[in-house]
Amino acid sequence: MEELALKSTIIVAQMDELTEAERNLVNLAIEGTNRSYAPYSHFHVGAAILLENGTTMIGCNQENAAFPSGICAERSALFAAGAQYPDQPVVMLAIAARNEKGELQEEPVSPCGPCRQVIIETEKRFQHAVRILLYGKKHIYIVDGIRELMPLSFTDF
C-alpha cells in the first residue's frame, strides 16, 4: 500500500489585486445573489461567466419545494451559456453567496460536487481550463481550472 498526495494551488487575493475583467465578473456574481430564489435554504448564490467572445452571463440558484428540482447558480449560468452560445468556450467563472441575513459571505464558497462535475465537462467540451474566482469579503480564491478543486474527476480531457 502506498500513499498518494494530491496538491492544489489556490491563489488568495483581494479585490484590488484582480484584473478589471475579474473584478467585473465578481461584481456580476454578487449581483446574481440578489436574483436568487432560495426560500428554503436562505443561501443565495450568484455566478457569472465570461465567454471567449466577451459575453458575460449571470446565473443564480433557484430552489423548489420538490427538492432536488432546483438548480445551482453555477449550473444555471453554464447551461444557459451552452444553450445560447454553444460554440463559445467559458473563460472564467465567478461565484459569490449571501447568508440568511442577506450579508455576503466572509469566506469564499466553492461549487458543490455536481457543479464541479459540470465545470469539468465544460472544460472537456472546449479543451480549455476555466479560471474560477471564489468571492468572500475577506479574500477571493482563484484557481486555474476545476482540477485544483477536484483533482480526481469522473472524466478527463
List residues bridging with 35 in a β-sheet: none
Distance, CA of 34 to CA of 154 (rounded, Å): 33
Burial environment of residue 26 by CB neighbours within 10 A (0 to 12, 13 to 18, 19 or more): buried
Which amino acid is present at 8? S
Handedness of CA 118, 132, 11, 100 (dihedral sign): negative
SS3 130: coil
To the nearest 10 degrees (0 to 180), the angle between helices 73-84 and 113-126 is: 30
Active site (annotated) includes residue 17: no
Q: Given the residues 52, 74, 103, 106, select the one marked as catalytic.
A: 74
Active-site residue set: 74
